[in-house]
Structure 1
């Protein structure tokens, strides 16, 4: 590995969007679909992220010829996924957008909005629950949204080019 690798911190770089629809069958949004009239950028409201990854459950394939239990790849499954967001004292826009039962897509630009970078993940989702987080600690008010991943996510898609 060369020393030219540019490491970065997710906070301040990675972007999370919620889209209600994506036209393409492969679930890769176009630049207009990522625009402010079609997508909601949740990034500034998020305090914590859980899940948003794909796991594989291997299948054991032991045989009589060996004491070693080999395995083959099995089903893919998305981790339980959630976003914890800050509450807004005067607006319920995000709470309304992410109400229980709402379907759509969480689009994650892992390396930020870098056109052509194959760092966009798209998760088809349905909101399973949205509930406030209560605390007596000196911390901001938050709510947690849990998502069911409803179909196979599209991983490592190219971020669309910016329109001129």
Structure 2
């Protein structure tokens, strides 16, 4: 007997597909409503780069005297340092006013787009900084740095 193969994927690249929303308030971030998502701001068109927005579990050794093998168990869950780099405007009308330091809310990531029934990830966050790139040759950019404040809601169905 042969094992059943995993279903074939419909592959894609993030540009033109993935969306990032800033949503200031969600009553239950484990299950946001359509109106809460619609009240957010779509950051996608001004994003130059994204870093982090991932979780991982520590591994804890569990040795015992019965064997030389050291088994492991899952430990604490942590979130990577996370940021979104965006473009600055020559009029100062940009993300700086939307996301000043100490602003709390939610970064909602819709990997396959904002399509009802698809999956999204919701990261409760607080803005920790807004360092600006001081490059004299490239487009002006600002990096919005975030602390992940609660365990993210991952693979939530989009309403």
**Is the TM value for this pair above 0.5?**
yes
- How many pairs were matched up? 155
Aligned mate of 1:32, from 35, 46, 53: 35
Matched, 1:46 2:47: yes
Identify the residue that residue 15 of structure 1 maps to in structure 2: 19
Deviation of 1:131 after TM superposition, in Å, equals 1.3
Whole-Å separation in 1 of the counterparts to 2:148 and 2:8: 36
Q: TM-score by structure 2 length?
A: 0.92
Deviations along 1:133-161, one digit per CA (max 9) or x if unpaired, are: 11133x2110001100001110000011x
Whole-Å separation in 1 of the counterparts to 2:36 and 2:92: 24
Q: Measured at CA, do residues 89 and 28 of structure 1 come closer, stay the same or move farther in structure 2, by a change above 3 Å?
A: farther
Whole-Å separation in 2 of the counterparts to 1:7 and 1:49: 20
Deviation of 1:11 after TM superposition, in Å, equals 1.1
Deviation of 1:88 after TM superposition, in Å, equals 1.3
Deviations along 1:12-32, one digit per CA (max 9) or x if unpaired, are: 1010000110022x4432111
Whole-Å separation in 2 of the counterparts to 1:144 and 1:77: 22
Q: TM-score by structure 1 length?
A: 0.89
Whole-Å separation in 2 of the counterparts to 1:158 and 1:107: 12
Moved more, 57-66 or 3-12: 3-12
Q: Measured at CA, do residues 2 and 68 of structure 1 come closer, stay the same or move farther in structure 2, by a change above 3 Å?
A: closer
Deviation of 1:93 after TM superposition, in Å, equals 3.7
RMSD of equivalent CA atoms: 1.4
Alignment of 1:148-159 (within 5 A): 148-159=147-158
Whole-Å separation in 1 of the counterparts to 2:77 and 2:93: 35
> What SS does the aligned partner of 1:133 have?
coil
Deviation of 1:4 after TM superposition, in Å, equals 4.2
The answer to whether the Cα contact below 8 Å between 1:28 and 1:122 also exists between their aligned partners in 2 is no
